[in-house]
Amino acid sequence: MGAKGFFISKAVGVVGIVLGAGAVATIIALSVVYSQEKAKTDAPVAPTDGTGTTLPTVPTPAPSNEPWDKYRLPESLVPETYTVTLHPRLIPDPITKLYIFTGTSHVVFKCVKETQLILIHSNKLNYTKALNGFLATLTTEGGGAPAPAIKSSGLVEKTQYLVLQLSDSLVKDQKYKLSTTFTGELADDLGGFYRSEYLENGVKKIVATTQMQPTDARKAFPCFDEPAMKAIFHITLVHAHGTRALSNGMETGTTDQTIDGMSVQVTTFEPTKKMSTYLLAFIVSDFGFIQTTLEGVLIRIFARKAAIDANQGEYALSVTGPILKFFENYYNATYPLPKSDQIALPDFNAGAMENWGLITYRETALLYDAKYSSNSNKERIASIISHELAHMWFGNLVTLRWWNDLWLNEGFASYVEYLGADHAEPSWGVKDLTVLSDIHRVFAVDALASSHPLSSKAEDIQRPEQISELFDAISYSKGAAVLRMLSGFLTEDLFKKGLSTYLNKFAYGNTVYTDLWDHLQMAVDESGKPLPGRVHDIMNTWVLQMGFPVITIDTATGLVTQKHFLLDPESNVEASPYNYEWIVPITWMKTNINQPSIWLTKKSDTRVEMKVISGQWVLANLDTVGYYRVNYDMANWESLLNALTSNHQDIPKINRAQLIDDAFNLARAKEISTILALRTTQYLTKETEYMPWESALDNLDFFYLMFDRSEVLGPMQAYLLKQVTPLFDHFRILTVDWTIIPPGHMDQYNQVNAIGKACSTGLPQCQTLVQGWFTSWMDNPAVNPIEPNLRSTVYCSAIAAGGAKEWDFAWDQFLKASIATEAEKLRAALACTKEPWLLNRYLEYTLNPSLIRKQDATSTIVYIASNVVGQPLAWDFIRDRWSYIFNQYGGGSFSFSNLINGVTERFSSKFELQQLEQFKKDNEAVGFGSGTLAVEQAIERTKANMMWISENKQQVLKWFVDNTLP
Ligand code: BES
Ligand code: ZN
């Protein structure tokens, strides 16, 4: 293949053209759309001029540094309005068999700096030559001298531009209009303008839909595809009779027209507000919908007709209004649009996308049916709706200038999603769950030397893969955690005040993250609240350096110190501008300590007066509002363990969960002994609350990963069986022998833990119970007797205990499922079988999109890898097919790092490390895309696991044996 990245190997139709720029010919790589399904080849291919005509091959040029070689747009042109008409064809071309869309676009932009060059993003679009012989026409807009003539036009594949060279300069402050006509493929690739398919009464149906974030609007029409290039969009969609078109704005009318001899419908929309390209959405479908209005805002839920007819949209419709009102109040800003549409799509890569006014979801994230859906499915719907609605202001109305600040956008929505969901479902207590799903989740990666700071430099984030890589646990969960801490120490009132002035000031504009700090500071100044520094200075220590501190409290001396918490204390970390010192708000349990809360600003300068009576304890980081771990002197640990065994309710439940999580992780970092960590689980025989149990099970999962192929497993299972049996009995009684559902949301979760763990550790009563349910369902498939909350765990237990008969039955039910959440439960449970041949067959299914949707492929492989029998099979499978998987499935943003993490999480031997390093080497050329960092993390994790096992195995084995003796 030619110079790296110049001829892109992906597509057959990748080409180059000659731009007549003086003596030196400038070569530009092009891509043609009708190439997707063809075989991939590494050979250089014939160039075209962007209209489908083949030109002679051009030799590979020397690397150049022209404006079109840069990924960022030059600062010369600013778009104002776009008028875009798109016509997706929902039936394939009879000859090529491809689905395509056609379009025209007119973009009016202002020249703010003289230039002879127009660069506008365009990816995989094929242009029709205009009368001038070029790929676009240019005219002056709003009077003024005629526009300069176009001298050359072409497409750059690598940096995804349409490039126009002009015979003369554009004039500063003059407006111009650029017009194009183009076609693109409506591929099933889940990005840009793409197609989704489903069966309805045996008939294949096609939906045309979009996913633009972060950089795929350029795949639908030529645009200045950067978040700061806000403009107003006038959208028109052409579609077949019997279908409906949706976009960000409200439909203003639909007329019948004849285009190319075809009778079609043409739907126009209200022009949008001034907005970023990544928030656009265009959809054509024959979906059904339900609607309501709330204080003048139209709220609609769209989905497949069968789903709407089965009332699966009702729950989403019922929570949207209240959550929208909650955010209007929280932000002190009215919802800026006249309508809020939400649509469930059969094929969708992420969970949901906050397109302004037309939010897209995967079906499991929006559709609910009490007959099939669990409380967990319901909570996911409430919180994901809340997350996306939060973006309508934070992100959409006010947008970060560049992707390097993505963490603030996603972190913010990930924090406030709990507040909105809590407003819709106040009895659930969901706000607490951020501790498990965000803080514990991200502590695990942020304690590695391969972590990274929240904030990146704008110049370090250029290529689309670099942008995609930012959608990680650090941006989402650490972002959420530090904002929750900030709101905690400012008070929610001040936080809201600053937020509201920020949103008002920058409405329809762009910001950098420090603009938010400035507005919070104004609120602080006005209130006179004392802080140890400016918001800016405090937050910099959390945002500009990676990791987090462990606070050590010595109750004997009253000394409180901090240090960088690293899972591997020996690892080398890069230098930090703050020398791994944080400004830490420390809260206490009120007993035993004089000050209610303190600030720790240096590594070791703080002494607190403690009046610790022997046997009494100190507890810091109340409700885990702070993003840090806490360690204590041994005497205090002993008192805390005592408190857990004698009166665990004295310690708030979040902190019980936190003590367990801190202990296990401090042990992994060798700050305390592993035995001390294990001792935090002894009191669980008396614990019935979900949060501490979940925290313990999550941490013990690491023990399973490390030991489930070793002699430790038996004694460990015996210990856990002993611990979980009282919980199983508790729920048996609470549910009157499994006949009623526990009333509390968290109790419902913990019931699942009780059954799941009791069955997997071999409690005969549990196994009989769940196998009985499953057999009864197999005997009469029309009646599923398993309560929806319990289905995931019951299906998994039964399939694990069963063979091909159970597996095939579940697969059949998967194919027949009428709601996506039911299919999802079965898809996960199918990975639970212990039969290698079934697992290998299932692995093959994952890459067959007619069996497993593309959106679900990587997560299915991860499910299989989480099974101890499936793990080596999954690892062989992805090693064998990496380049295929990467090319077919590499587009997804989260899924790639999840895949790498998933298949490598058990790695803990020298051989596995070698294999991993070999894998990295073998695939250097193919690459890992958004999973690049995950490969590094996997290597680091494997080394740490090897160390941990060698240091802990014997004592852990002995402890489990000793602690199961009667
Ligand atoms: N903006 C994202 C969706 C997205 C993610 C687009 C990655 C492109 C790449 C959206 O707001 C989001 O964060 N969705 C989450 C759900 C949320 C509840 C964490 C998702 O899709 O999982
Ligand atoms: Zn988001």
For CA atoms 913, 916, 921, 927, the dihedral sign is negative
Q: Is residue 383 part of a domain?
A: yes
Q: Is residue 723 part of a domain?
A: no
- The number of the ligand 1 atom at minimal distance from the alpha carbon of 471 is 7
Residues with CB under 5 A from ligand 2 (ion): 410, 413
Nearest to 344 by CA among 373, 385, 372: 385
Site to probe by mutation for ligand 1, drawn from 209, 213, 278, 353 as the one with most ligand atoms within 8 Å of Cβ, is: 353
Q: Is 410 annotated as a binding residue?
A: yes
Residue 646 lies in domain: 549-655
Task: Give 462's contacts (C-beta < 8 A, 6+ positions apart).
Answer: 70, 71, 72
Share of the chain above pLDDT 90, in %: 85
- Whether pLDDT at 653 is above 90: yes
- Whether pLDDT at 540 is above 80: yes
Q: Is 687 annotated as a binding residue?
A: no
Give the per-residue pLDDT at 562: 96
Tell me the pLDDT tens digit for each residue of 560-614. 999 999 998 888 999 999 999 999 999 998 666 767 789 999 887 788 877 777 7
Question: Helices 690-707 & 713-734, crossing angle to 10 degrees?
Answer: 160
Q: Is residue 372 part of a domain?
A: yes
- Whether pLDDT at 823 is above 70: yes
How far does the centroid of ligand 1 lie from the alpha carbon of residue 754, in Å?
A: 31
In the three-class reduction of DSSP (H, G, I as helix; E, B as strand; rest coil), residue 518 is classed as helix
- The number of the ligand 1 atom at minimal distance from the alpha carbon of 386 is 18
**Residue 410 CA: distances (Å) to CA of 36, 45, 518:** 32, 40, 19
Give the per-residue pLDDT at 589: 81
Residues 532 and 430 in one domain: yes
- Whether pLDDT at 127 is above 70: yes
Give the per-residue pLDDT at 571: 87
Q: Is residue 878 part of a domain?
A: yes
Smallest CA separation from ligand 1 atom 21, residue:
351
Among 286, 312, 332, the domain-final residue is 286
Among 369, 396, 423, the domain-final residue is 396
- The number of the ligand 1 atom at minimal distance from the alpha carbon of 214 is 8
Residues 45 and 79 in one domain: yes
Q: Is residue 673 part of a domain?
A: no
Task: Give 184's contacts (C-beta < 8 A, 6+ positions apart).
Answer: 33, 100, 101, 103, 124, 125, 126, 192, 193, 219, 220
Give the per-residue pLDDT at 10: 27
Flag whether the pTM goes above 0.85. Answer: yes
Residues 91 and 33 in one domain: yes
Residues 88 and 227 in one domain: yes
How far does the centroid of ligand 1 lie from the alpha carbon of residue 361, in Å?
A: 10
Tell me the pLDDT tens digit for each residue of 825-856. 999 999 999 999 999 999 999 999 999 998 89
Compute the mean pLDDT over every residue in the chain, rounded to the nearest whole number: 91
Give the per-residue pLDDT at 11: 28
Report, as an integer, the average pLDDT of 615-626. Answer: 93
Tell me the pLDDT tens digit for each residue of 172-190. 999 999 999 999 999 999 9
Residues 378 and 460 in one domain: no
Q: Is residue 486 part of a domain?
A: yes
How far does the centroid of ligand 2 lie from the alpha carbon of residue 211, in Å?
A: 13
Q: Is 387 annotated as a binding residue?
A: yes
Is 806 touching ligand 1 by the criterion CB < 6 Å?
no
For CA atoms 205, 104, 348, 189, the dihedral sign is positive
Give, in degrees to the nearest 5, the angle at Cα 480 between 936 and 516: 115
Give the per-residue pLDDT at 60: 55
Ligand nearest to the CA of 420: 1
- Whether pLDDT at 459 is above 60: yes
Q: Is residue 697 part of a domain?
A: no
Share of the chain above pLDDT 70, in %: 92
Give the separation between CA 254 and CA 750, rounded to whole angstroms.
Answer: 51
Cross-sheet strand order for the sheet of 115-121: 115-121, 161-170, 150-156
Residues 167 and 67 in one domain: yes
What distance lies between CA 731 and its chain's CA centroid?
34
Question: Helices 895-904 & 932-962, crossing angle to 10 degrees?
Answer: 40
- Whether pLDDT at 514 is above 90: yes
Whichever domain contains 840, its CATH number is: 1.25.50.20
Cβ–Cβ under 8 Å, residues 128 and 110: no
Report, as an integer, the average pLDDT of 70-80. Answer: 97
- Whether pLDDT at 158 is above 50: yes
Task: Give 706's contacts (C-beta < 8 A, 6+ positions apart).
Answer: 906, 908, 945, 948, 949
**Residue 692 CA: distances (Å) to CA of 301, 746, 749:** 37, 11, 12
Give the separation between CA 940 and CA 679, rounded to whole angstroms.
Answer: 28
How far does the centroid of ligand 2 lie from the alpha carbon of residue 471, in Å?
A: 9
Quick one: pLDDT band at residue 14, thresholds 50, 70, 90?
very low
Is 352 touching ligand 1 by the criterion CB < 6 Å?
yes
Catalytic residue among 388, 581, 905, 912: 388
- Whether pLDDT at 376 is above 80: yes
β-pairing verdict for 161-170 and 203-211: unpaired
Cβ–Cβ under 8 Å, residues 930 and 465: yes
For CA atoms 635, 637, 643, 645, the dihedral sign is negative
The domain total for the chain is 5
Give the per-residue pLDDT at 50: 55
Amino acid at 746: M
Residues 564 and 625 in one domain: yes
β-pairing verdict for 251-259 and 244-247: unpaired
Smallest CA separation from ligand 1 atom 14, residue:
352
Is 351 touching ligand 1 by the criterion CB < 6 Å?
yes
Residues 520 and 579 in one domain: no
Is 410 touching ligand 1 by the criterion CB < 6 Å?
yes
Whichever domain contains 312, its CATH number is: 1.10.390.10
Residues 327 and 256 in one domain: no
Tell me the pLDDT tens digit for each residue of 275-285. 999 999 999 99
Residues 25-57: b if buried by 16+ CB within 10 A, e if exposed: ebbbbbbbbbbbeeeeeeebbebbbbebeeeee
- Whether pLDDT at 221 is above 80: yes
How far does the centroid of ligand 1 lie from the alpha carbon of residue 461, in Å?
A: 19
How far does the centroid of ligand 2 lie from the alpha carbon of residue 360, in Å?
A: 12
- Torsion angle (degrees, nearest 10) of CA 786, 789, 790, 792: 110
Q: Is residue 6 part of a domain?
A: yes
Tell me the pLDDT tens digit for each residue of 225-281. 999 999 999 999 999 999 999 999 999 999 999 998 899 999 999 999 999 999 999
Q: What is the DSSP letter of 672?
A: S
Residues 910 and 877 in one domain: yes
Among 259, 286, 313, the domain-final residue is 286
- The number of the ligand 1 atom at minimal distance from the alpha carbon of 417 is 18
Residues 252 and 390 in one domain: no
Give the separation between CA 832 and CA 760, rounded to whole angstroms.
Answer: 11
Out of 81-95, 564-578, 641-655, 929-943, which region has the weakest mean confidence (pLDDT)? Answer: 929-943
| 924 in catalytic set | no
Give the separation between CA 740 and CA 790, rounded to whole angstroms.
Answer: 12
Tell me the pLDDT tens digit for each residue of 715-773. 999 999 999 999 999 999 999 999 999 999 999 999 999 999 999 999 999 999 999 99
Whichever domain contains 597, its CATH number is: 2.60.40.1910
Give the per-residue pLDDT at 568: 87
Smallest CA separation from ligand 1 atom 3, residue:
353
Residues 305 and 377 in one domain: yes
Smallest CA separation from ligand 1 atom 16, residue:
351
**Residue 558 CA: distances (Å) to CA of 591, 605, 607, 619, 656:** 15, 11, 5, 13, 23
- The number of the ligand 1 atom at minimal distance from the alpha carbon of 350 is 21
Report, as an integer, the average pLDDT of 214-224. Answer: 98
Give the separation between CA 93 and CA 941, rounded to whole angstroms.
Answer: 49
